[in-house]
Chain A
Amino acid sequence: MAPQQSASLLTSCCGAKPSSSRRTNNRIVTAQSRHQAQERAIESALLLAAVFSVAITVGIVGVLIYESLKFFGRVSLIDFLTDRQWTPLFADAHYGILPLVAGTLVTTTVALEVALPLGTITAIYLSEYAPYRLRETVKPFLELLTAVPTVVLGYFALLSVTPLLQRLWPTLPGFNMLSAGLVIGVMIIPYISSVSEDAMRAVPMDLREGSYAMGATRLQTALRVVVPSALSGIAAAYVLGVSRAIGETMVVAIAAGMQPTLTLNPMEPAATITAYIVQVSLGDLPYGSIGYQTIFAAGLVLLLMTLVFNIAGHVLRKQFPQR
């Protein structure tokens, strides 16, 4: 319809002014617009950045597998898994991963014996008991604990915790897994308590009200109503704590010594997988030597261990609604 026609029709109807006089030159242009090419370019660039994260994983897995394959070309898998000695740098070289795994497991166990009870109790206390102001004062401190560089925690374990423990057990060696484990345990408390607390706070208030209305105390409500409802979240917290403990390096490298020994006694020094990698890095190993390749084989074992726990934690965490 031509503009002039519509104008006259309008005036004949409602006395409305024709609006075409104020039209600027907007015209619909079908699909080929100047901005479309630019928009697509920007989207591609952003996509590249997002995909890059996948490249990182590929890089990590690739490097570890590549070097480990070279390692396993020279050392049999059976020996690796069953030999009870790890002495790759000695003349009589043994390549059994058990001592390192034992070291990792013992320190982690000590850490968990501290962190799981304390973390859970802290979570219950903060979620069900603590007044608002106390919670708001304490939480920043706990957050800060996670921000302390682990090398500082290692210093603390070696120079403060070990001497303290030696007053109780004078035969305790200067390097031992106990101090390292205790400090790692305290370091993990905030991880466990904050994820558990989130899970507990996500439990709806009316469930608690039902329990209180029957005359239950806070403790009973917490233990019989809140914790069971938040169980998957708490389990996720535990699992994430385990994963963090397994991957810890500096505290053990400084305080537990770097002597790979196959022992389950936390009062002895030992090396974890992570501490071994550090020890080798401190030295000078030519690229391509078997000594160099051992750290990748050890690293692969470490990655697999943490991967299992990370996936488990992720699956568990998805089962409770976020606050």
Chain B
Amino acid sequence: MSPSMKRSITRRKIADTAFAAVGLSATLVGVVTLLALILGLILDGLPRLTWQFFTSYPSRFPEQAGILPAWVGTCLVMLVTAFAAVPLGVAAAIYLEEYAPRNWVTDLIEINVANLAGVPSIVYGLMALGLFVYQFRLGASILTAGLTLALLILPMIILTTREAIRSVPTSIREAAYALGATKWQTVKDHVLPYSSGGTLTGLILAFSRAVGETAPLMTIGALSFIAFLPHPPWQPEFPYLSFRWLMDSFTVMPIQMFNWVSRPQEAFHLNAAATGLTLIGMTLLMNGLAIFLRARYRKRIRW
């Protein structure tokens, strides 16, 4: 082997090893940033995570301020989102996977869903402002917020549910049809139950995204300083369910955090950190749940 060839090999090997180091560092940039972020939040926010913090209203005095209306608002808005998005999204996914013939209408719907997934979230807020708040006179209410977020996560739900449905093998469907099952019976008795794990995982991830959304809700006019709670969803008299809360004003946790981070006083920044920690905690919890369910479901259903 000539000396120049040996040199070339050495050179290329050095480049190779160098790149491995560079590659590893590049990969870790994201990880390190994430850890720095979480660490910063913990350092600033953990001391503020007290029972008082979760049960107080916002206040001019940062030490007394709390996120009670914010997390209540988040829960109520997510309730509306769930009721709107889940049936619509799952139904649309079932149609596209099981019923839709291959024609231009189906293509149009599919292109449309793919497109909607890439629309910036604030644009959903603009649409909701023009349509729900004013045109439909729903105002800046919990109902509007829930519907806005539902529309936002609908493409995600459709995509993940379709994938889950697609994972059910054709042979199972054929077996059901061969026994005389109708299309709906096959979907109801087989396709849906066997894909429920994947569907559920997708739903949880979609909700985790919706919880952290700020821009669209700010656009429709969610308040950031409210000193009251919306009406509860229940009432002492029959029929025990109340819907007054749907039209109430509200705030949600990410908006509360934004409000505090925009103030110059550092004490409010600590509150913001605590809220951020809560938000990330919820996100981690939901993502972890989704991963756990995905693993468990994969063990139960075997083809």
Contact = CB atoms under 8 A, between A and B. Distances in A.
Contacts of A132: none
A247 interface: yes
A296 B134 CA distance: 14
A266 interface: no
A51 B95 CA distance: 10
Contact of A247 (B120, B257, B258): B120
A311 B115 CA distance: 8
A156 B127 contact: no
B215 A249 contact: yes
B287 A47 contact: no
B55 to A, nearest CB: 22
Interface string B2-40: 000000000011011001101110111111011011001
B130 A274 contact: no
B109 A147 contact: no
Nearest to A127: B23
B169 to A, nearest CB: 18
Interface of A is mostly: helix
Interface string A176-199: 000000000010011001000000
Contacts of B276: 149, 151-152, 155
Interface residues of A, number: 86
Contacts of A296: 126, 130
Nearest to A26: B180
A165 interface: no
A189 B291 CA distance: 22
Interface in B247-302: 254, 257-258, 261-262, 269, 272-273, 276, 279-280, 283-284, 287, 291
A249 B115 contact: no
Name the residue in A67, A282, A314 with the highest tally of chain B Cβ atoms < 10 Å from its Cβ.
Answer: A282
Contact of B23 (A129, A243, A277): A129
A307 interface: yes
A160 B37 contact: yes
A235 interface: no
Contact of A145 (B34, B88, B258): B34
Contacts of A307: 115
Given A125-B26, A152-B37, A57 B94 contact: no
A56 B20 contact: no
Interface string A280-323: 01100001000000011001001100110111011000000000
Interface of A: 35, 38-39, 42-43, 45-47, 49-54, 56-57, 59-60, 63-64, 66-67, 117-118, 121-122, 124-126, 129-130, 138, 140-145, 147-156, 158-160, 186, 189-190, 193, 217-220, 240, 243, 246-250, 253-254, 274, 277-278, 281-282, 287, 295-296, 299, 302-303, 306-307, 309-311, 313-314
The 3 closest A-B pairs by CB, nearest first: A247-B120, A149-B212, A125-B23
Given A53-B92, A147-B212, 10 more contacts: A46-B95, A118-B26, A124-B23, A129-B19, A130-B24, A138-B27, A145-B34, A158-B261, A189-B30, A278-B219
12 contacts: A52-B88, A63-B130, A118-B30, A121-B23, A125-B23, A148-B34, A148-B283, A149-B214, A151-B279, A219-B15, A220-B12, A306-B120
Interface of B: 12-13, 15-16, 19-20, 22-24, 26-31, 33-34, 36-37, 40-41, 87-89, 91-92, 94-96, 99-100, 108-109, 111-116, 118-127, 129-131, 134, 151, 154-155, 158, 182-184, 205, 208-209, 211-215, 218-221, 254, 257-258, 261-262, 269, 272-273, 276, 279-280, 283-284, 287, 291
